[in-house]
């Protein structure tokens, strides 16, 4: 009986870890932002760890996916099971903390692919711990599916491919966009309240200027380019010349240009000149901008209110107008 339960638990936990790792692997910045939220003063008050949020994120997403594969193929079962136990124990504490103190409304366990409440996530992890206890008790039954050589090869190939994906995504944009601002999204529709009373997927999105909110104006434009500079201090300044050049080409092609930032602008004219972006600057919530595009600076193309393209500054030369 224990042998059967071990194999059932092995494949359930393995598949869930692979899925959880994959949906975060294609967007490691999302997990980094979630780590920053947990480390913030209002949650765990461990702000000294905030600079390490991205390395923690990469380690987590790669470990989840690779451990899931290791468990299924049967490579180094003792190390694998106890590593999974340790990770799940951490998740259990974090979700308990979020659920009990209502600190983080979404733990990000499945990235932006599936949203689960802290309460549901906590009980999910309790069930996971039960399955992992079965794995610990039945360690002797976890053997390589084919051979130890195939199991080790599968592990190292998955590790190598995971690191390649992370490198690509961090230098460009997420391979799969699970967020509310994906290409093809109608922004106005995403901001509309439905009959169920739920908060719409797109909220806190604005283009606030001294002359009021320009969002409605932008949505009515035939062609618009949004340039996200969500944080001046953390901005990759080497990307500004390419973004400025892309904006100039877009302006010549009839696009209205809007620069969105969450940073305080003391001297608008000086900032426009410094960044080489003499266009409309508007304030927008930082979380909304981070959700809209994982780049700083980044470019979003909008036609008649529909998102038609998203580019990291590294791909500014490839913007299709």
Residue 248 to residues 207, 210, 223, 255, 285: CA-CA distances in angstroms?
20, 24, 14, 9, 25
Cβ count near 73 (within 10 Å)? 22
In this prediction the pTM is 0.88
Q: Cβ–Cβ contacts within 10 Å for residue 229, how many?
A: 27
Strands 306-312, 298-303: pairing is antiparallel
Q: Tell me the backbone φ, ψ of residue 278, rounded to 5 degrees.
A: -80, 60
Closest CA to 39 of 29, 30, 28, 52: 52
Helices (DSSP H) in the chain: which residue ranges? Answer: 2-25, 28-39, 53-73, 77-101, 118-137, 148-171, 187-191, 215-219, 240-252, 268-275, 286-292
End-to-end CA distance of the chain: 62
Specify the pLDDT at position 70.
95
Structural domains for the chain: 2-171 (no CATH), 187-318 (3.40.30.10)
Query: Which tokens belong to 26?
Result: 């294609």
Q: Is there a contact between 297 and 230 (Cβ–Cβ < 8 Å)?
A: no
pLDDT at 259: 96
CA angle 179, 185, 190 (to 5 degrees): 80
Q: What pLDDT score does 110 carry?
A: 65
Q: How far apart are CA 73 and CA 133, in angstroms?
A: 19
> What is the pLDDT tens value at each position of the chain, 321 positions in all?
888 899 899 999 999 999 999 999 999 998 888 888 888 887 888 888 889 999 999 999 999 999 999 999 999 999 999 999 998 998 888 888 877 877 776 666 666 667 777 778 888 888 888 999 999 999 888 989 888 899 999 999 999 999 999 999 999 999 988 889 999 999 999 998 887 778 898 988 999 998 899 999 999 999 999 999 999 888 999 999 999 999 999 999 999 999 999 998 888 888 899 899 999 999 999 999 999 999 999 999 999 999 999 999 999 999 988
Please state, in angstroms and rounded to a whole number, the distance separating the CA atoms of residues 203 and 299.
19
């Amino acid at each position: 009986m224990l042998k059967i339960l071990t194999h059932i638990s092995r494949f359930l936990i393995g598949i869930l870890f692979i899925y959880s790792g994959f949906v975060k692997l294609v967007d490691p910045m999302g997990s980094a932002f979630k780590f920053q939220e947990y480390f913030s003063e209002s949650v765990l008050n461990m702000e000294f760890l905030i600079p390490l949020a991205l390395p923690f994120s990469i380690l987590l997403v790669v470990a989840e996916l690779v451990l899931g594969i290791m468990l299924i193929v049967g490579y180094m079962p003792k190390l694998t099971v106890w590593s999974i136990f340790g990770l799940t124990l951490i998740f259990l504490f974090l979700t308990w903390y979020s659920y009990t103190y209502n600190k983080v409304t979404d733990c990000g366990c499945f990235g932006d692919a599936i949203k689960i409440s802290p309460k549901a996530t906590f009980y999910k992890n309790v069930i996971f711990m039960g399955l992992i206890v079965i794995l610990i008790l039945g360690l002797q039954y976890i053997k390589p599916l084919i051979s130890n050589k195939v199991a080790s090869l599968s592990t190292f190939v998955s590790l190598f491919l995971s690191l390649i994906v992370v490198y690509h995504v961090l230098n460009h944009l997420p391979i799969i966009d699970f967020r509310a601002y994906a290409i093809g999204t109608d922004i106005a529709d995403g901001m509309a309240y439905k009959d169920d009373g739920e908060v719409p997927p797109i909220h806190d999105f604005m283009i606030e200027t001294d002359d009021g909110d320009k969002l409605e104006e932008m949505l009515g434009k035939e062609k618009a380019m949004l340039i996200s500079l969500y944080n001046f201090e953390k901005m990759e300044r080497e990307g500004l010349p390419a973004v400025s050049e892309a904006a100039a080409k877009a302006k010549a092609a009839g696009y209205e240009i809007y620069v969105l930032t969450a940073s305080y602008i003391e001297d608008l004219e000086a900032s426009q000149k410094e960044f080489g972006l003499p266009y409309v600057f508007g304030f927008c919530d930082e979380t909304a901008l981070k959700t809209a595009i994982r780049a700083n600076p980044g470019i979003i193309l909008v036609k008649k209110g529909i998102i038609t393209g998203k580019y990291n500054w590294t791909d500014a030369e490839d913007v299709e107008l």
